[in-house]
Amino acid sequence: MEDVYIVMLVALLALAITDLVVGVSNDAINFLNSAIGSKAVSMRTILIVASIGVAIGAIFSSGLMEVARKGIFLPQQFYFEEIMIIFMAVMITDVLLLDFFNSIGLPTSTTVSIVFELLGAAVSIAVIKIYKEGNDLGQLASYINTSKATEIIIGILMAVVIAFIVGLLVQYISRLIFSFQFEKKMKYVGAIFGGLSLTAILYFILIKGLKSVPYLSEDTLTFINENTILIMLIGFVIFSIISQLLMSIFKLNILRVIIVIGTFALALAFAGNDLVNFIGVPIAAWQSYNLWEAAYQSSGTLPSELLMSGLSGSVPTPEFLLIIAGGVMVVTLWFSSKAKSVVETGVNLARQGDGVERFEPNWLSRSIVRYSVIFSGAVSTVVPKAVKNKIDKKFEKPENNSRTKRLDAPAFDMVRASVNLVVASILISIGTNLKLPLSTTYVTFMVAMGSSLADRAWDRESAVYRVAGVLNVIGGWFVTALVAFTAAALFACIIYYGGTIALVMLIILAIVLVVRSGIIHSRKSKEEKKNKRYNRTDIITINEITTETSENISSVIHGINRMYTKTVDNLGYHDLGKLKKNNKAISKLEEEVDELKGNIFYFIKSLDDDSVEASKFYILILDYLQDMTQSIAFITRNSYNHVHNNHKNLKFNQIRDLKKVDERMQVLFDDIEHAFNNHEFAKIDQILKDKQDLLDYVSDLIQKQINRIRTSETSPRNTKLYFGLLLETRDLITSTMSLLQLFQEFYREAKSTF
């Protein structure tokens, strides 16, 4: 009997480590976004500062993991075996849920996830107990702390709205004061701004950070609470003086100092307060096991007989566990690719400049933007023109004449980064002081979104995409609560009735899903890294344009070659399943070319003066690639629709002829791919010479089908499909040859010029 619970503890330990990894990956957005987005310091410095904050916060974290033991449910109402089932269900759910959000690159709240998982698992077990005892469901209130869930939901709504509005207002006022030419203004008001910002961060550390340190005496905490205003006033004076000295004597940018210290403060508070979300449940399980083991050895109490009243007390967490947890968090911070993708989501939604948008607009985002534009227009008519012009001048962005500076520009400037950190710190501190339930993720994210809107980062070109992104993230937060509750309740029920076998199966399922997710994400990251050449904005010379274009051609040709062969083979076998996969895969190829065309603006912007003439060449090449992609898309989709509609299969002679075309096409495309991969452009001449033979062969097949119709063909559907495939194949060959001819002309001209 005892062995089962030891195995459960070992499983919980493994899940705790996994949860630390996936949890830190998601919460990294809280303290990394502002520093990374503003490029205030190097990435290495950002990670070092954040790592120190996380390590100190974890080591000095509160040893009292209350939320996992008595914050959501009443432990004295549950037996030891039931408590262990609840904890196992919670941890399995938490790992899977957070890993899912990390995989799609969306930030969510680890606090909300753990609270609703505890609530769902506890409700599930409580309902089972009530049902077994024959009681009414009205008894549920005696098992569950129902007021806590209500507070959390209210906290979500308050945090989202208040953080967004405050971030918007503070950033708007800050921009009116500093404008985008803030370097000049910092000489006069930099010391005051630095004093206010650093004092706010000090307040954040005192109220939010030190509250969780178990080594501070009650007298010290009481002194801080009673003299907070005095401490803040003294801090403001001291920090203002320090800010002035740093600027005048050491020539330091005070905004950079604020960002570094703010990043440290948020990382410190994150580790100190959110650590419970990752290891609180396993520690509570370990403490539960110790309580039961003591009772079992003294009186032989069975797991189904010991009520867990002992969890209601305060039990400190061993220091070595906090140190290990801190180490895992720091390592994750440095090496997690999923953390980077979550951070990129926040930075891209808040960025000042244009770029490729990740989210697609929806009806709600379009409606919000449309009515916002109407409202903005109405306000503009009321505001005096002189005032409007003066305000607009404050929001004028400096021109980057240097292309290098423009390409290396941060997502937003250091004024906005400082505002994000300071406002988030103050709001979290006030919420903590008032004992309001809130999520640091919600606060930091919504402050960043509010400040980006105030900074006019969401213009008419990007607003509909950015709003859609924010709505997706906010929707994900509420999905977190719903899925956490439902999944934990379901897992608890499965473990309760399925016993050890069900528990083992769920753990294996969790391992498989997390590993599979990691493999898919790694593969996706490599693919994105490979495809980043399509988004590059640093192409400068003719040679680089040639290289870039040849890579694009080779990639598209490779995709078309594979797709053509698969389609012909699967059509011959009448394989609906594989044709369906081809039909889905072709969309990816179309998106690839469409993305290339979408980046033409940035491509032309990045060219040096000597290479501007190459723009037309690049545009025409992309147009031919799109024509080729449309041809293969027609071939693939019509083949799929033909089989999907259960029409007759093509005749053996037709399939044989198509396969011969495919074999010739493979030779053609392999030669083209080899020429462009190895930059052996001299071979293009020979490829162009052989083009007529292939076109003549396709024309002969068209004539052969005409003869079939006059003699033996009886299926109009087959005729339509077969003609369609041959005609699109001819168009595909023609577009390919036109592309090769254009590239050859450009290459010869570029070679003779340079």
Tokens of 155: 């906290």
Please return the burial class of 741, using the count of CB atoms within 10 Å of its CB with bins 0-12, 13-18 and 19+. Answer: middle
Separation CA 605–CA 227 (nearest Å): 56
Mean pLDDT calculated for residue range 259-288: 81
> 695: how many CB neighbours lie within 10 A of its CB?
15
Residue 55: its pLDDT value, please? 86
Three-class SS state of 307: strand
Nearest to 90 by CA among 76, 110, 74, 104: 110
Please determine, for residue 3, whether its predicted confidence score (pLDDT) is greater than 60.
yes
Helix runs in 459-575, H state only: 463-531, 542-572
Residue 317, by phi and psi: left (phi above 0), alpha (psi -120 to 50) or beta? beta
Of 212-216, 250-254, 450-454, the one with minimum mean pLDDT is 212-216
pLDDT band at residue 612 under the 50/70/90 scheme = low
pLDDT at 350: 82
Write the CB contacts of 586 (distance below 8 Å, at least 6 apart in sequence): 563, 632, 633, 636, 637
Which two three-digit tokens encode residue 35?
Answer: 């520093």
pLDDT at 212: 54
The DSSP bridge partners found for residue 79 are: 307
DSSP label at residue 167: H
Q: What is the mean pLDDT of residues 216-224?
A: 76
- Label residue 587 left, alpha or beta by phi (over 0 means left) and psi (-120 to 50 means alpha): alpha
3-state secondary structure of 79: strand
- The answer to whether 259 and 201 are in contact (CB under 8 A) is no
Amino acid, res. 349 = L
| Pairwise CA distance, residues 329 & 335, whole Å | 10
Q: Is the pLDDT of residue 615 over 70?
A: yes
Confidence category of residue 487, pLDDT binned at 50, 70, 90 = very high
Q: pLDDT value at position 92? A: 93
How do residues 727-751 score in pLDDT, each as one tens digit? Answer: 999 999 999 999 998 888 887 777 6
Mean pLDDT of 459-476: 85
Q: What are the angstrom distances between the C-alpha of 403 and each of 180, 237, 354?
A: 19, 42, 15
pLDDT digits (tens, 9 = 90+) for 155-171: 767 878 889 999 999 99
CA nearest to 22, candidates 108, 118, 86, 82: 108
- Other Cβ atoms less than 10 A from the Cβ of 171: the count is 26
Sign of CA pseudo-dihedral 185, 186, 187, 188: positive
Which of 184-188, 358-362, 538-542 has the weakest average pLDDT? 538-542
Angle in degrees, CA 706, 712, 716, rounded to 5: 65
**pLDDT band for position 634 (cuts 50, 70, 90):** very high
Dihedral sign for Cα 259, 260, 262, 266, please.
positive
Give the three-state DSSP class for 608.
coil
Amino acid sitting at position 602: Y
**Averaged pLDDT, 117-138:** 87
Task: Assess contact for 484 and 117: CB atoms under 8 A.
Answer: yes
Residues of the chain with pLDDT > 70: what percent?
A: 87
pLDDT average, residue stretch 608-614:
65
CA end-to-end span of the chain, whole Å?
A: 81
Mean pLDDT of 306-319: 70
CA distance 671 to 659: 18
Mapped onto helix, strand or coil, the DSSP state of residue 144 is: strand
DSSP conformation letters of 394-406: HTPPPP--SHHHH
- One-letter-per-residue 3-state SS of 618-639: HHHHHHHHHHHHHHHHHHHHHH
Where do runs of H (alpha helix) occur along 395-462? 403-407, 414-433, 440-454
SS3 654: helix
Joined together, the tokens standing for residue 315 give 């039990």
pLDDT, average across residues 482-504:
92
Q: What is the DSSP letter of 364?
A: H
H-state helical runs in 300-413: 319-335, 337-350, 363-382, 385-394, 403-407
Chain mean pLDDT for the chain: 82
Do 649 and 574 meet the contact criterion of CB atoms below 8 Å apart? yes
Rounded average pLDDT over 406-417: 76
Q: Quote the strand ranges of 668-715, DSSP E.
A: none
Lowest mean pLDDT among 90-104, 377-391, 658-672: 377-391
Q: Tell me the two tokens of residue 1.
A: 């009997």
Above 90 in pLDDT, residue 682? no
**Percent of the chain residues topping a pLDDT of 90:** 16
Q: Residue 116 above 50 pLDDT?
A: yes
Pick from 63-77, 120-134, 353-367, 614-628: least confident: 63-77
Domains of the chain: 1-397+410-524 (no CATH), 541-753 (1.20.58.220)
Q: Name the pTM for this structure.
A: 0.75
